[in-house]
Structure 1
Amino acid sequence: MNLASRLLIVAAGLSGALGVGLSAAAAHITGGNLTTAAQFLLFHAPGLLALSALIAAGAVHPTLAQIAGYALILGLALFCGDLSRRAFAGAALFPRAAPMGGILLMLGWVLVAVSALLRLRV
């Protein structure tokens, strides 16, 4: 297994762990931002694991799929980081961080799809 696949697995594990932690915090702290951040982390953790498995199985274009994974990770960091900071500190991570993260998440998933299509041609 290459380093990029291992990094995706590490990110999936961290995403899952943070999602569980934020879900617990959201149960004790009012605010929809924290719940949304937790859900996004929990939803993307298995997606990152699956992407790593698809790369290892040769089912997707490996380079493009790795880029997709990194886009998902950065998108999660920006989107969930901004929502979490708003919940805990009452201030944004930086202006437009959450929308930028959301766009990166969408781009990441589109790249996953394209990586599967390109793999058919290789």
Structure 2
Amino acid sequence: MAEHPASGSGRTLVFAGGLCGAAGVALSAAAAHLGGAFVATAASFLIMHAPVFLAVGLIGVNRVLRIGSLMLLVGLLLFSGDLLARDFLGSRLFPMSAPIGGTLLIAGWLVIAASALVHQRS
């Protein structure tokens, strides 16, 4: 059964989409003015994933799609967080955070693809 978009996870994903979009734009500006290849990469990842969170949060469709989106969100936080920590703090977020985040991003996209194969109950 599809969850109503105004539900908790729907609101959370829309909120995350808005924050990712805003952070992506702010970090793009920071990268342009301050430099930092990691900042630019993190900004690109944030901007490219923001619409996914907005769409899934608004349409809700099915639980598998929401799970894939949440996997994307966690992966994005780990991956981008590690890149930003490298440029702004001079150290990693924690060992293997970027590879774990990247793996979660890939897995999240695969779960989103698989959500298209889930039969919806009326």
TM-score, length of structure 1 as denominator length: 0.89
Q: Does 1:67 align with 2:48?
A: no
1:25 CA drift (Å): 0.9
1:53 CA drift (Å): 3.3
Distance in 2 between residues matched to 1:50 and 1:70, nearest whole Å: 13
Q: Can you give the 5+ residue segments of structure 2 that lack an aligned partner in the other structure?
A: 1-5
2:14–2:58 CA contact under 8 A, matched in 1: no
Per the alignment, residue 44 of structure 1 pairs with 49
Per the alignment, residue 99 of structure 1 pairs with 99
Q: Answer with 18-27 or 36-45: which moved more.
A: 18-27
1:2 CA drift (Å): 1.0
Per the alignment, residue 119 of structure 2 pairs with 119
Query: When the two structures are aligned, how many residues end up with a matched partner?
Result: 116
Per the alignment, residue 81 of structure 2 pairs with 81
1:30 CA drift (Å): 2.1
TM-score, length of structure 2 as denominator length: 0.89
Distance in 2 between residues matched to 1:39 and 1:22, nearest whole Å: 9
Q: Which has the higher helix share?
A: 1
1:64 CA drift (Å): 1.2
Match of 1:32 among 32, 37, 44: 37
The alignment's C-alpha RMSD in Å is: 1.2
- Structure 1 stretches of 4+ moved >6 Å: none
Q: Does 1:4 align with 2:9?
A: yes
Q: Can you give the 5+ residue segments of structure 1 that lack an aligned partner in the other structure?
A: none
Q: Percent identity?
A: 47
